[in-house]
Structure 1
């Protein structure tokens, strides 16, 4: 059973902090630790998730909203931190050396029955990565902080039964916002964030028929609207459940199960 099921939840998603839970019946990982240790514990408790099942933390890049709670959380629970050399070099935190593990690009890491693969993405950080977590044939992608859709992202997206996908901003809202010009260029310039429309184009063109859940992630507080993003994707969902990952609270826990008949992409 463990190699057919994955359980996923967003504990928080946005520029104020990012943390995503992916696990099976026996073990789990967190992707990023951008909220406090105490808040991580509280949200997992409310969801009925156990910190004792969490076996590692995987870090996508060194920006504060992805690592803010990392040092305390990892130290308290003696959790290995998988982080690549570029990200570690840019990380301002004082992390326990005995907990550090080298994350190698495109090389799967086994955590119990989970396989976690990090691949490079386009973002304005030192060596930023996205992740695919698999258990047996079931795959979940964590695809946020993306400046653009690249071939690697498309390749992995097409294999996922569920994904956290960045829908950071609406083009019109960004252009009309009070953001200074340089910040608007940073967000939309190819190494910042993915717009609703860019994410939707990926979804329409490359969504596999077996994708059951899509969690719209890392929405901007000022330049997006949860209802706007959800409505945009729901029109094209074709059986995929669309969920907006909140910047204020955790989502529900979703069960991802590989349809038995589906094995080709």
Structure 2
């Protein structure tokens, strides 16, 4: 009774999250290229043949960059709202476009995907929870404020991708112009480390086995800082910082209060590769 999850990439340079069972999977967002998606899944021993649908949270380029090619190549349905489709400027085969409504579960084989609205500066932004095999996975990123929708769904999750975008002091003292700082912290931007930690410590269910900290800012956060911060409060939950440069391992999430990483670890990435991917 398990689901398998991985972050293929997480950050302002691209976001793509894989959730699946033994026979089918979905991608939440497709913000890296089709080629890079395929390459990273192959390294993890995952097959695109199992991917049955793509769900798009909102129209920002770091969430949709690869969707046109992926959908066309694999004839995948793309679940996307009309506003997101329009504002994203996407050219998708009409036969592959599927609208969705918040709070209405969509069945993809034995997986159930439910969307709910979130606070973000996009046309029709949504977060998702994916359920199957008595396991629930949440994908909570690009959230300006921890509203009651986020809290209620987080409390149901055996594992979650939770945004920890910025350290408040680093953002305040950093190089970003004032208007951009306000956009990030202004209620329709991103969650800070502190906000994410408050969600985790106040609303973490006892059965949550994995927390993948996601969408970290390159300039206003530190993977080591946020790892240490959450490790202090982990209370049995495995804390993983999702990278903006490579995929995480694949994690097995069970219905019981337990979980383990499959022995599939991302290869080390070279300094040259890192420099080439900086934005």
TM-score, reference length from structure 2: 0.91
The CA deviation at 1:183 is 0.1
Aligned with 2:46 (options 46, 49, 58): 49
Aligned with 2:106 (options 106, 109, 118): 109
SS class of match (2:224)? helix
Deviates more, 1:215-224 or 1:252-261: 252-261
Structure 1 residues 260, 248: closer, same or farther in 2, change over 3 A? closer
Alignment of 1:220 onto 2:211: no
User: Is the 2:208–2:257 Cα contact (8 Å) retained in structure 1?
Assistant: no
The CA deviation at 1:85 is 2.0
Structure 1 residues 171, 26: closer, same or farther in 2, change over 3 A? same
Aligned with 1:186 (options 171, 179, 183): 183
Aligned with 1:86 (options 70, 83, 88): 83
User: Is the 2:12–2:62 Cα contact (8 Å) retained in structure 1?
Assistant: yes
Alignment of 1:95 onto 2:92: yes
Q: Distance in 2 between matches of 1:14 and 1:166?
A: 10
Q: Distance in 1 between matches of 2:231 and 2:36?
A: 31
Deviates more, 1:126-135 or 1:88-97: 88-97
Q: Which runs of 5 or more residues in structure 2 are unaligned? A: 259-279
The CA deviation at 1:87 is 1.2
The equivalent of 1:142 in structure 2 is 139
The CA deviation at 1:260 is 7.9
Q: Distance in 2 between matches of 1:160 and 1:87?
A: 26
Tell me the alpha carbon deviations over residues 15-35 of structure 1, each in whole angstroms, 9 at most, x when there is no partner: 000000000001000000000
Alignment of 1:32 onto 2:47: no
The CA deviation at 1:89 is 2.2
The equivalent of 1:58 in structure 2 is 55
Q: Distance in 2 between matches of 1:177 and 1:217?
A: 20
Q: Distance in 2 between matches of 1:90 and 1:136?
A: 35
SS class of match (1:221)? coil
Deviates more, 1:79-88 or 1:208-217: 79-88
Write out the 4+ residue segments of structure 1 that deviate beyond 4 Å after TM superposition. none
The equivalent of 1:22 in structure 2 is 19
The CA deviation at 1:146 is 0.4
Aligned with 2:193 (options 190, 196, 207): 196
Q: Distance in 1 between matches of 2:223 and 2:52?
A: 32
The equivalent of 1:175 in structure 2 is 172
Q: Distance in 2 between matches of 1:117 and 1:137?
A: 15
User: Is the 2:206–2:257 Cα contact (8 Å) retained in structure 1?
Assistant: no
SS class of match (2:144)? coil
Q: Which runs of 5 or more residues in structure 1 are unaligned? A: none
Equivalenced residues, count: 258
Tell me the alpha carbon deviations over residues 33-55 of structure 1, each in whole angstroms, 9 at most, x when there is no partner: 00000000000000000000000
Q: Distance in 1 between matches of 2:135 and 2:95?
A: 31
RMSD: 1.0
Q: Distance in 1 between matches of 2:88 and 2:199?
A: 31
Q: Distance in 1 between matches of 2:17 and 2:124?
A: 20
The equivalent of 1:155 in structure 2 is 152
SS class of match (1:163)? strand
